[in-house]
């Protein structure tokens, strides 16, 4: 699931059209992440670094992890995905010196067969030609912006303005206190409930598992590394080619604990009250899976002014894991 969740991010960062205007020079200080969100963005999702889709993909089984890559991962403070239909771009915050990142990222992608050619520089942009397409990166203090060229140039332009619906107090800058925070003006929840929202904010928290245990490779060029990546590629190829039934899955582990809060902002208090009544009576305007509708109707809710707040935890949705909720949410964002 975590690897699948990464695919929209990788695809969104590819197939860019070169920008006709050169990037602006980098300011001397680190900006607030809010300053790196373009004005026409529709959503922002902040992840705990260990749950960031692209990093989760590279840390999944079948991929090799370099020691230098893990050292960079451990310096991350927070990660973000900014949705600008029809694509998105990423912002990574942490102690990430450009030279170290370029050297290690090139090796990390190469040993896993994801690098098409060597990394190059185009002014202040780092150009990363991956097998899925070209990714561009620019540094702003302790923030790195990655994605399509035009998105990166716009996000890092001097004087760029963030969207009016995005408030600085709502954008986390330290991932120690949350697993995921999503803020948006889209109508994903408006469509489910049948009352248009002005804005919504979803916060989820769960105990951090830390970075997965891996056998780290210290030298990307040694024979052991070559053997490991050749074996990984061979096994991935065999897994794709075989039509044999997979072995029986192990017994399911207990669902990890998580908590969540969804704040739905409406135009008037009356609309917030009506949305709450729709939830309580399960009178949804669109067909929902029966168990999901029943679970939504039982959520704890509170109306304050024009805001309806819903609270939930792992017991609210039996059999649904945090990773699946995150995947559903990001998938919905990517479709809009």
Contact 112, 229 (CB under 8 A): yes
**Distance between start and end Cα atoms, the chain:** 21
Q: Is the pLDDT of residue 56 over 80?
A: yes
Strands (DSSP E) found in the chain? 43-47, 76-84, 87-94, 120-122, 125-130, 133-140, 143-147, 180-184, 199-205, 259-265, 300-304, 307-313
Question: Which pLDDT tens digit goes with each residue over 254-264?
Answer: 556 789 999 99
Question: Which pLDDT tens digit goes with each residue over 280-300?
Answer: 999 999 887 778 888 899 999
Question: Which pLDDT tens digit goes with each residue over 13-51?
Answer: 444 444 444 444 444 456 789 999 999 999 999 999 998
What is the C-alpha to C-alpha distance for residues 139 and 27, in angstroms, rounded to an integer?
A: 10
pLDDT mean over 299-319? 91
Q: What is the percentage of the chain residues whose pLDDT exceeds 90?
A: 55
What is the C-alpha to C-alpha distance for residues 134 and 83, in angstroms, rounded to an integer?
A: 18
**What is the structure's pLDDT at 22?**
47
Supply the pTM of this predicted model.
0.78
Task: Spell out the domain ranges in the chain.
Answer: 1-14+35-169, 178-207+254-336
């Amino acid at each position: 699931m975590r690897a699948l969740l990464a695919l929209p991010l990788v695809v969104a960062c590819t197939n860019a059209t070169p920008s006709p205007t050169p990037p602006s020079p980098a300011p001397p200080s680190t900006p607030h992440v809010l300053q790196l969100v373009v004005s026409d963005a529709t959503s922002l999702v902040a992840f705990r670094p260990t749950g960031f889709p692209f990093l989760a993909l590279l840390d999944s089984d079948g991929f090799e992890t370099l020691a230098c890559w893990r050292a960079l991962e451990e310096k991350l403070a927070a990660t973000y995905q900014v949705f600008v239909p029809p694509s998105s771009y990423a912002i990574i915050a942490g102690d990430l010196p450009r030279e170290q990142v370029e050297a290690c990222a090139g090796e990390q992608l190469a040993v896993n067969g994801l690098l098409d050619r060597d990394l190059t520089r185009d002014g202040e942009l780092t150009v990363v030609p991956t097998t899925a397409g070209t990714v561009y990166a620019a540094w702003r203090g302790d923030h790195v912006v990655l994605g399509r060229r035009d998105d990166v140039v716009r996000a890092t332009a001097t004087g760029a303005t963030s969207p009016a619906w995005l408030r600085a107090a709502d954008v986390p800058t330290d991932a120690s206190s949350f697993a995921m925070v999503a803020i948006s003006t889209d109508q994903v929840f408006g469509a489910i409930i049948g009352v248009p929202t002005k804005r919504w904010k979803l916060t989820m928290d769960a105990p951090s598992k830390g970075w997965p245990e891996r056998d780290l490779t210290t030298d990307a060029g040694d024979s052991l590394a070559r053997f490991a990546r050749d074996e990984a590629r061979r096994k991935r190829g065999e897994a794709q080619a075989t039509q044999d039934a997979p072995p029986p899955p192990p017994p399911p582990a207990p669902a990890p604990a998580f908590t969540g809060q969804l704040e739905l902002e409406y135009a008037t208090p009356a609309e917030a009250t009506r949305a709450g009544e729709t939830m309580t009576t399960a009178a949804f305007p669109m067909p929902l899976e029966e168990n999901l509708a029943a679970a939504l109707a039982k959520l704890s809710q509170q109306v304050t002014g024009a805001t309806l707040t819903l609270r939930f935890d792992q017991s609210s949705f039996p059999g649904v894991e945090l990773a699946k909720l995150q995947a559903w949410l990001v998938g919905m964002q990517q479709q809009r």
